[in-house]
């Protein structure tokens, strides 16, 4: 299973990163269609004792796949067969859009990092919703067949680029109307650096009416209370992080996802050449260099909000030890993404085994 780094170097390291992602995801889906995924799931699946109850949902494992990998719910079931306790779909926007011009995805292999400026490329809420519904139905049927708890499927929504900030709330409400009936939980993404002006929605005067409108619409179109979280940037000042936490508490949100990618380049250039970093241009940095700030934000939120908010920690997570560190620091759930590109399809399974070994000591 540790042969993947050599495979990555031979098969993917020289390839355009976005093409490599497309081909790798196609391979995961092919394994699922041929039945190999079912066999893999016996090896990668978390123990039943790893279940966590969060937001009224039961997650088979505290570790899941962050938004960005499966933007359109085209391989959700296949991904859960790799051992993820939950998969967050998206980011999905109210209207379909191609995203930013290519190239827009860059690997910094020495730093175990990625810079992206994808720009919420996706098929739009209307197209994605029936795929989420179909994935949930398939997962429920498999759960009945196997007797195992089904993985959780969250949906991450963002602003359509062509929609102005003054109409952003209506755009998010549109996505909520279509997607909330099928989402186990919903995440409002106001923190990507790759949609112009989006991060201005983190300002409280803009964020309050946006979250209130999404909450109201989710309640209106569903016969249940869909858990609602907001995803924030690591680049917020500490006082702004706590201000968002206070707003989340005021509005009765379920939690905060911390954090998105960063526009900072701190920590890069130690292994990756400065010129190579500069050549990538603008975009959000993810992976190992984000680890320290992501953990700082998690600890700040935990200290400020205590047990009142569910905290989902993401950013720089690679190993089972990283996951345990986030759980010990106050996270209820932990997500990863960038390390998946470098660690390969058995990554979640290795983390599940690591958590299993750590459980008698730490939990």
**Residues recognised as catalytic:** 192
> CA 61, CA 46: separation in Å to the nearest integer?
6
Measuring CA to CA, which residue among 261, 286, 285, 252 is closest to residue 158?
Answer: 261
> CA 52, CA 333: separation in Å to the nearest integer?
8
Contact call for residues 147 and 189 (beta carbons, < 8 A): no
> CA 218, CA 178: separation in Å to the nearest integer?
9
> CA 130, CA 182: separation in Å to the nearest integer?
8
Tokens linked to 258: 């911390």
For residue 296, what are the contacts with CB-CB under 8 A and spacing of at least 6? none
**Which H helix or E strand runs over 92?**
strand 86-93
> CA 159, CA 240: separation in Å to the nearest integer?
21
222-232 core/surface letters (b: 16 or more CB in 10 A; e: else):
eeeebbbbbbb
> CA 306, CA 256: separation in Å to the nearest integer?
12
Strands lying side by side in the sheet with 113-116: 105-108, 113-116, 284-287
> CA 353, CA 363: separation in Å to the nearest integer?
14
Using alpha carbons only, what angle is made at residue 73 by residues 107 and 340, rounded to the nearest 5 degrees?
Answer: 30
> CA 38, CA 36: separation in Å to the nearest integer?
5
């Amino acid at each position: 299973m540790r042969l993947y780094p050599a495979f990555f170097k031979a098969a993917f390291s020289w390839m355009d990163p976005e093409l490599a992602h497309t081909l790798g995801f196609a391979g995961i889906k092919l394994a699922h269609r041929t039945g190999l995924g079912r066999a893999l799931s016996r090896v990668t699946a978390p123990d039943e004792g790893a279940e966590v109850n969060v937001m009224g949902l039961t997650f088979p494992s505290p570790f899941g796949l962050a938004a960005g990998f499966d933007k359109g719910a085209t391989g959700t079931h296949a991904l859960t067969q790799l051992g993820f306790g939950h998969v967050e779909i998206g980011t999905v926007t109210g209207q379909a859009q191609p995203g930013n011009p290519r190239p827009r995805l860059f690997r910094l292999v020495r730093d175990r990092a990625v810079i992206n400026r994808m720009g919420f490329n996706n098929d739009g809420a209307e197209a994605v919703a029936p795929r989420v519904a179909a994935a949930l139905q398939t997962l429920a049927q498999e759960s009945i067949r196997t007797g195992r708890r089904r993985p959780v499927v969250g949906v991450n929504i963002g602003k359509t680029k062509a929609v102005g900030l003054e109409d952003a709330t209506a755009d998010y409400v549109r996505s909520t109307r279509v997607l909330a009936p099928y989402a186990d939980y919903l995440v409002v993404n106001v923190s990507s650096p790759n949609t112009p002006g989006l991060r201005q929605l983190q300002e409280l005067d803009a964020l309050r009416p946006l979250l209130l409108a999404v909450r109201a619409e989710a309640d209106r179109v569903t016969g249940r209370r869909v858990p609602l979280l907001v995803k924030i940037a690591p680049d917020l000042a500490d006082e702004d992080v706590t201000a968002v936490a206070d707003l989340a508490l005021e509005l009765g949100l379920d939690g905060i996802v911390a954090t998105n990618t960063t526009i900072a380049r701190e920590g890069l250039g130690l292994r990756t050449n400065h010129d190579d970093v500069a050549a990538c241009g603008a975009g959000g940095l993810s992976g190992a260099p984000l680890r320290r700030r992501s953990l700082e934000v998690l600890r700040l939120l935990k200290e400020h909000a205590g047990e009142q908010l569910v905290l989902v920690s993401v950013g720089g997570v690679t190993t089972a030890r990283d996951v345990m560190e986030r759980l010990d620091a106050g996270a209820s759930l932990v997500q990863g993404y960038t390390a998946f590109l470098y660690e390969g399809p058995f990554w979640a399974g290795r983390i599940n085994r690591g958590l299993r070994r750590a459980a008698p000591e730490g939990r």
